[in-house]
Amino acid sequence: MDRFGGTAARPAGDAPVIGAVGRFTSEKGHVHLVEAFARVRGSLPGARLVLVGFGELEKDLRGRVRGLGLEDAVTFTGERDSAEVLHGIDLFVQPSLYESQGLAILEAMAAGRPVIAADVGGVRDVVRDGETGLLVRAADPGALAEAILRLARDPSAAASMAARARERVRGLFSVERMVAEYARLYKELLGRYNPARCTTT
């Protein structure tokens, strides 16, 4: 996670850059984010949306963006390394309908970005609602838009959540933590190792 740096979140204000990273497939829920973004633009006309990824639904997503009149406000970057794009966004959104945990969420937290995510799968194990980010109902553009506006309008709260999130992810998922856990496991297994005494006849 060290390559994600961990710079402080920028105040989002009236023109937040909202970003999402993931394959363009139905379970990732991008269509709900696009719908939510249309509502956000109604309150924050300067807001922008950056969609990082590729997939079978890209054409459909682009069509929905055109249909909502958002072409000038939404950027499709294609496949990119998350570390290259996370520092250019103000709010990270994960609208998935299913996630076992969400590597992209961990990367955003490590980069010090405020996180808004759908409350599905193992996401709650990573994002603590109101403490290290915001959790919303899945497939609910209204709830997603409300959460985005909440953090965009309260930069101080967003920055505090991002700082706590960065501390949490670096404490639980750092290389040092991983090495320490492996060492503990090896010691435990060695302690249990009791080969049967070899005998010859």
Domains recognised in the chain with CATH numbers: 2-181 (3.40.50.2000)
Q: How far apart are CA 137 and CA 28, in angstroms?
A: 14
Rounded Cα distance, 93 and 105, in Å = 8
Q: What is the DSSP letter of 188?
A: H
Q: What is the pLDDT of residue 180?
A: 45
Give the DSSP H or E segment for 190: helix 175-192
Count of other CB atoms within 10 angstroms of residue 43:
13
Angle at Cα 151 formed by Cα 94 and Cα 40, nearest 5°? 75
Sheet containing 91-94: order of strands: 74-78, 48-52, 17-21, 91-94, 115-118, 134-136
Q: Which of 112, 140, 116, 106 is nearest to 36 (CA)?
A: 140
- Identify the CA nearest to 60 among candidates 97, 32, 39: 32
Residue labelled with tokens 């499709």: 76
pLDDT of residue 172: 82
What sign has the CA pseudo-torsion 20, 144, 120, 132? positive
9 DSSP assignment: P
Model-level pTM? Answer: 0.83
One digit per residue, the tens of pLDDT, for the chain of length 201 reads 556 665 555 556 679 999 999 999 999 999 999 999 999 999 999 999 999 999 999 999 999 999 999 999 999 999 999 888 999 999 999 999 998 877 999 999 999 999 999 999 999 989 999 999 999 999 999 999 999 999 999 999 999 999 999 999 988 875 444 444 445 555 566 667 665 555 555
The tokens for 90 are 């103000």
How is residue 71 written in tokens?
Answer: 């072409």
What pLDDT was estimated at residue 132?
96
Question: What pLDDT is stored for residue 181 in this prediction?
Answer: 42
Q: State whether residue 186 is helix, strand or coil.
A: helix
